[in-house]
Amino acid sequence: MGDYEEEMYKLKSCLAKEFEIKDLGNLKYFLGIEVAWSRKGIFVSQRKYVLDLLKETEILKCKLADTPMDHTNKLGTMEGSAPIDKGRYQRLFMNNPTEEHMNAVFGIQQYLKMTLGKGLYFKKTSSYDIEIFSDADWVGSITNQRSTSRYCTYVWGNLVSWWSKKKSVVACSSTKVEFRAMTDNICEGIWLKRLLVELRIPIEKSMKMSCDNQAAISIAKNPIHHDRTKHVEIDHHFIKEKIEE
C-alpha cells in the first residue's frame, strides 16, 4: 500500500503546481453517489438522490414494490391510451407518455423506495478474474420487432460495467442478436483489460465469457460456415479470434 500512497502524493503534488486544489480526504459524496469505506471494501449508493427524486415527483409516501417492473408488460405506442400531464413529466418520461408508460415508471419509483439501502459493494479479493455475461431478447419490441441486447462485466468479482440497448435493425434470428451482444461484450472486456494494463495491474488469466444461447455457443466453437451463418460471419470471426487468443 505504501507504493500507492507515494504515487498518490506525487500525483497530487503535480496537480497542485498547475491548479488550485484542496485535499478533502476520502470521497464521501460525488454526483449523487454516496460512498462508504471499510477495511473490506467500498460501498456506493444513491440513497439521497432517490429520496430527492421521490420528493420532486411528490410520491415519497408511495407503496413499496419488490421488483422494478412486470416482465410480461410490453410497452409501446398504444392507440387510444389515456394521455398524461406532459408538461409536468416531460423531463422524466420523454415526449409522448401515456398512462401505461406512467404506471411503468411509477412502479420503478416504488422499487427504488423499496431498495433505498441497496447499492454496489466493491470488495477486496485475491481473485483477479474478468467475467463478462451477455444476453439478448429476440423481437422483444411490440412496436417494430427489434431486439434488445445487454451485458454486464465483473472485474475481480465486482460489477463494474453494464449496458442495455435496443438494436437499430430487426434481427433475422435469435442467434444473430446473441452474437451481436457477445461481440459488444467482448469489446467491453478488452477495453477493461487494456485499462488495467495501463494502470500496471497484471492480468494473468484469460477473460471468461458466458452466453445462454446454445446455437451462438456452438457457432463460436465451430469454424464451419454455411448459408444460415452468413449474416453473423463478421461477428463470428471476431469472437473466434478472441477465444483463440
pLDDT digits (tens, 9 = 90+) for 73-88: 665 555 555 555 555 4
13-46, pLDDT tens digit by residue? 999 999 998 888 888 888 889 999 988 899 999 9
CATH number of 126-244: 3.30.420.10
Bridge partner residues of 74 (DSSP): none
In the chain, which segments carry CATH 3.30.420.10? 126-244
pLDDT at res. 42: 92
Rounded to whole angstroms, the Cα distance separating 98 from 100 reads 5
Residues 6+ apart with CB under 8 A from 95: 86
Residues listed for the chain: 245
pTM comes to: 0.65
